[in-house]
Chain A
Amino acid sequence: MIQKPAENLLVVGGSAGSLPIIMSLIENLPDGFNWPVIVVLHRLKNVNSELVKLLAGVKNGRRVCEPEDKTQLRDKYIYLAPQNYHVLLEADKTISLDYSEPVHFSRPSIDVTFEAAAHVYGNKAAGILLSGANNDGAYGLEQIWRAGGSVAVQDPETCEYAAMPLAAIHRIREVLILQPAVLALFLENLLLNK
């Protein structure tokens, strides 16, 4: 069972209006982009979501799962934050789940996971914040940026709900503002810069 923990990490956060973008992002992950991806998507409580099945249906050679507590982050895996838990990361690149109070009325909260990614992965983390109607994720994305990681938001013009990326744009001077179609290019660039 012992495997090398992943060296880099991509975290993606989204809320209202982000699901189609997340689907297409996962579908269009560039060849050779093997980083683990943690997707934090706001969802309804206690509603059994079809999301894992939906994402697992995308054929791109990755494994999609809802991680359990203490799961080791591994390349080529897509981890979907389970409903009702925050996803934290330990220094040994394992996941610690957390059932504490919602942040920005959200559990999972994007801020919580993004901040953890900044702490543990520093400049080897990258974050993307997509469409959403509240402020979750902006603080966390700023932490990734401060730690030297790469950060991007969905162009608010293309968002069903622009509040989330706008909040991040206000906080982070150098955030990349990208249309959904070029998100894959952003990921290819991450590989070139390593």
Chain B
Amino acid sequence: MSTRYDISPGELAGIVELIKLNYGYDFSDYAHASLLRRVLRFMDTARVKTAYDLKYHLTNDKDFFAWFLQTVTVNVTEMFRDPLFYKTLRDKVLPKLAAYPVIKIWHAGCSTGEEVFSMCILLHEAGLLDRARIYATDLNPVNIEKAKTGIVPMRYMKEYTANYQQSGGKNDFSAYYTARYENALISKELRSKIIFSQHNLVSDHVFNEFQLVCCRNVLIYFNKDLQNRIYHLFYDSLTPMGYLAIGMKESLLFTDIRHRFETVHAAAKIFKRKL
């Protein structure tokens, strides 16, 4: 971290434009501060010293772009992250979802799937998994492939078990996975209702109607305009009275359709689409 390269706002815009033209990913409405930090971090890792060199490699090397995409997008996730959120889902949301013959849930920006697996455990414990269809999407194909394997690093399982218990989980958490050396394989039955696919919130559209949309700590990487557009996308993707869950420090305050949602639980950041 001692020597940092720097690029100007104009150079960053040039890189964003190049990626959009060559690969179709549009980062132009990402939050500038975090995007810049991620790009600089990538340049540091890849030992690319100037914006010119970065553009050269991005133009000429697809694998280099894949590496860039993997590094610049944030793929950090956890099982049962924020136990309060899962406890609230368990107590307040799932009993309502139980009324639907088919329960459709969308995890937007699912990364490597840890939150989706957590949801499956909740649905299983509520006796709803058989009736559920869980669509899990991410813009990054590498994440989707990894999520499909159902493998979670074993070294985090102790922490996840504690999260699970704090969220009100009463079962033996280790029954939900098979430990193999440094990996834990989440049980196949639990994952049987998940449909993984690539979807880019920035450029793709409504593709189904859901009773619950989970998009936690994804929109923080976008600027206010893009956040607003995505909240419209979520609104249009929800059934009337459908639920929207966002990250613990995210807010609907800056969107122009905040009045079309009501608050289900303020601290757990769960909202409901009005009729």
Contacts and interface: CB of A to CB of B under 8 A. Distances in A.
A68 B82 contact: no
B253 A68 contact: yes
Nearest to A66: B249
Interface string B213-255: 0000101110010010000000000000000000111110110
Contacts of A100: 34, 38, 74, 76
Given A70-B224, A88-B34, A89-B33, A139 B249 contact: no
Interface residues of A, number: 27
B163 interface: yes
Contacts of A85: 220, 249
A157 interface: no
Contacts of B33: 88-91, 96, 116, 119-120
A45 B162 CA distance: 11
Contacts of B175: none
A105 interface: no
Nearest to A119: B33
B163 A69 contact: no
A91 B2 CA distance: 24
Nearest to A135: B1
A95 to B, nearest CB: 9
A10 B64 CA distance: 39
B214 to A, nearest CB: 15
Contacts of B254: 70
Contact of A91 (B32, B34, B251): B32
A7 interface: no
A146 to B, nearest CB: 11
A69 B220 contact: yes
Contact of B249 (A68, A89, A90, A91): A68
A89 B251 CA distance: 17
A46 B163 contact: yes
A82 interface: yes
B166 A97 contact: no
Contacts of B253: 68, 70
Nearest to B83: A46
A42 to B, nearest CB: 17
Contacts of A45: 159
Quick one: which of B2, B83, B221 has the most chain A CB within 10 A? Answer: B221
B57 interface: no
B37 interface: yes
A69 B249 contact: yes
B31 interface: yes
A111 B34 contact: no
A105 to B, nearest CB: 13
A69 B164 CA distance: 26
A118 to B, nearest CB: 11
B34 A98 contact: yes
Contacts of A67: 249
Contacts of B31: 88, 90, 96
A101 interface: yes
9 contacts: A48-B84, A67-B249, A70-B224, A82-B248, A84-B248, A90-B31, A90-B32, A90-B33, A100-B34
Interface of A: 45-46, 48, 66-70, 82, 84-85, 88-91, 96-101, 111-112, 116, 119-120, 139
The 4 closest A-B pairs by CB, nearest first: A88-B33, A96-B31, A68-B251, A99-B217
